[in-house]
Structure 1
Amino acid sequence: MQSNNPVFRNNDGFSKTSYNAYGNATYAGNGAAHSGYGQTDPSQWSVGTPGTAAPTQAGAPMTIDSVVQKGAMSIGLVILAAAVTWLVTPDVTENVDLGPLSAAIVVGGGAAFLLSLVNSFKRVVSPALVLLFAIAEGVALGGFSKLIDGYYGGGLVVQAVIGTFAAFAGTLAAYRFFNIRVGNKFRTFVVAAMFGMVGLSLMELVLGLFGSSFGLFGFGGLGIVTAVAGLALGVFMLILDFDMVENGIANRLPEAESWRAAFAITVSLVWIYTNLLRLLAILQNN
């Protein structure tokens, strides 16, 4: 089954690719059906040439450890860049110039958005671009988090960070223990909803430049609706990520593809954090 996720679609190994004559899914590499098995004509069955090893992909395969390592590097850079941005920008006080914070949010967010598009549609994954995305995203999150903390306080940033990692752990536990299986309709829905949210946010940004917007991503009534919807969508995105990583490992993709998985998981965690932080701010304000 071909993935609809643009991040994983660039490598067929992240999805089930074919079925044998008995209806069983086959995978690339060591998951592929053995020569001769599954053929309908018994006269064509064979057991292979004695002494010949099964074909394998060159290089070390993608594993859970490699995904965890790359993911830790990516998420760690986001946190580090956010912390540095927090420290070097001025505190939000009365009559303070918010120019540096605004610049961090706009420049970091713009760079992260462009890099996310490149990483999503790039055929060959680039570790350097994934790490650059993490840094740019961290700068934007650092500015945004400090702005929310300055206006709303109450330790919302710490709560959002804890809540994000709790959502990750809870989603992973549910995926494993409840043996969640991802279908094509679910993939299509999640990706369509994600691009829909991005499109709405860009529309709001353009309207805001002309002094007119619907407040979809603000801190009012509509804002709480989009924050809750965005939070739920972030959890669905994580489920999609876990499924694709599981398929990638089963298909024995090259270890370099761990960077693609790390990028996707980082995007999902950032998505959850920003919506959770905004939701907490709205609830604090009310």
Structure 2
Amino acid sequence: MRSSNPVLSANSMDSFRGEFFPTSQSMTIQGAATKSLILLGLCIGTGSMTFAMTQGANPGAAMPWMIGGVIGSLIFGMATTFKPTWAPTTAPLYALAEGLLLGAISGMYEKMFNGIVPQAALATLGTMAAMLFAYKTGVIKASRGFVMGVAAATGGIALMYFVAMICSFFGIQMSFLYKPSPFSIAISVGIVIVAALNLIIDFAAIQQAAAQGAPKYYEWYTAFGLMVTLVWLYVEILRLLSLIASSKSND
């Protein structure tokens, strides 16, 4: 299974492929699900702290924590990706750091659009539940063609964001990404759909890893990979809701 999520790629399984691990030392789907809930809880915990700071009398107090979250999530995210055996330690640290960042970002959106964060959170959880149901019932199958299509779309989105970032350094703004308009909302909807479809591939990758008898630490690693997709999905839903809210206020 070649996932479009760089974390849950086929190459990440090379470190243990061909080895045999006793049942007590092997990954299980239930174990991966439990680790995913732990990471989500850690992320929500630190996120609640920075979110509360942005809603207080001194919103700027959240900025150092936000910067720390950016640095920490990059360091621990890269460490987990390139050294999966470290995942039992680095994945929880990533979740804590990512929470600091997401909490501050969410707080900023909440300041501008009251009630948007609960909507985005519920939409993210609902989307994950719907994708899991679709995968388990076979409504959507992670076929080779499906995986290649989603991977290509994900790569295109990443390239678009990279070009937008480079252009911003030269004072060029890609307004169709950030300014509210029917076109920008349509693009945002498309990105949310692609992010959601990545969950199907993540579920399949986790199931395959368990079937191949991956070592126990891989539960943390796959939980980390799933969380990366969920973070992306949440941020994109948050952005979509903000575009819709802004569009309505301009009418």
State the match for 1:71 in structure 2: 36
Q: TM-score, normalised by structure 1?
A: 0.74
- The residue aligned with 1:117 is 78
Mapped to 1, the partners of 2:61 and 2:155 lie a distance apart of 29
Counterpart amino acid of residue 11 in structure 1 = M
> Do 1:77 and 1:131's aligned partners in 2 also have CA atoms closer than 8 Å?
yes
Look up the equivalent residue of 1:136 and give its one-letter code.
A
> In the alignment, is residue 169 of structure 1 matched against residue 123 of structure 2?
no
**Are 1:13 and 1:253, in contact at CA under 8 Å, matched by a contact in 2?**
no
Structure 1 partner of 2:157: 197
Q: Deviations over 1:135-178 (max 9, x none)?
A: 1211111111111110111x111111111111111110111112
| Paired letter, 2:168 | G
Give the direction of change, closer, same or farther, for the CA distance of 1:218–1:109 in structure 2 (3 Å limit): farther
Does the aligned pair in 2 maintain the 1:90–1:100 contact within 8 Å?
no
In 1: Cα distance, 2:118 partner to 2:84 partner: 37
**Alignment gaps of 5+ in structure 1:** 18-27, 30-55
> 1:35-60 CA deviation, whole Å, 9 max, x = no partner?
xxxxxxxxxxxxxxxxxxxxx52342
- Please tell me whether Structure 1 or Structure 2 has the larger radius of gyration of its CA atoms: 1
Secondary structure (helix, strand or coil) at the match of 1:178 reads: coil
State whether residues 231 and 275 of structure 1, in contact with CA within 8 Å, keep that contact through their aligned partners in structure 2: yes
Deviations along 1:189-238, whole A, 9 cap, x unmatched?
33343343334334333433443221354242354234212211111110
* Distance in 2 separating the partners of 1:110 and 1:195: 24
Distance 1:232 1:217 in 2: 16
Pairing of 1:136-151 with structure 2 (within 5 A):
136-151=97-112
Partner of 2:52: 87
Identity of aligned residues (%): 27
Letter aligned with residue 171 of structure 2:
G
Q: Considering only aligned residues, what root-mean-square deviation do their CA atoms show, in Å?
A: 2.8
Q: Deviations over 1:263-283 (max 9, x none)?
A: 111111111111111111111
Task: Supply the distance in 2 between the matched residues of 1:100 and 1:193 (Cα, whole angstroms).
Answer: 38
State whether structure 2 residue 189 is matched by structure 1 residue 228. Answer: yes
Deviations, residues 1-34 of structure 1 (Å, cap 9, x unaligned): 55564323210599xx9xxxxxxxxxx68xxxxx
What is the SS of the residue equivalent to 1:163? helix
The total of aligned residue pairs comes to 243
Name the CA distance, whole Å, in 1 between partners of 2:66 and 2:167: 18
- Report the Cα offset of residue 101 of structure 1: 4.7
Shift of 1:128: 1.7
| Residue segments in structure 2 that go unaligned for 5+ positions in a row | none
1:243-286 deviations in whole A, cap 9, x for unaligned? 01111121121121001110111111111111111111111122
Q: Distance in 2 between matches of 1:193 and 1:105?
A: 29
Report if the CA contact (8 A) 1:67-1:258 is conserved: yes
The structure whose RCO (Cα within 8 Å, separation 6+) is larger is 2
Higher helix share: 2
**Matched residue of 2:158: which SS?**
helix
2:90 to 103, 117, 129: 129
Kept after mapping to 2: 8 A contact 1:62/1:256: yes
Q: Distance in 2 between matches of 1:170 and 1:135?
A: 26
Is 1:172–1:239's contact at 8 Å kept on the other side of the alignment? yes
SS, match of residue 217 in structure 2: helix
Change (3 A) 1:271 1:71: same
Report the Cα distance in structure 1 between the residues aligned to 2:71 and 2:171, rounded to whole angstroms.
Answer: 20
Aligned to 2:216: 255
Which residue does the alignment assign to 1:25? none
Could you tell me how far apart the structure 1 residues matched to 2:72 and 2:184 are? Answer: 24
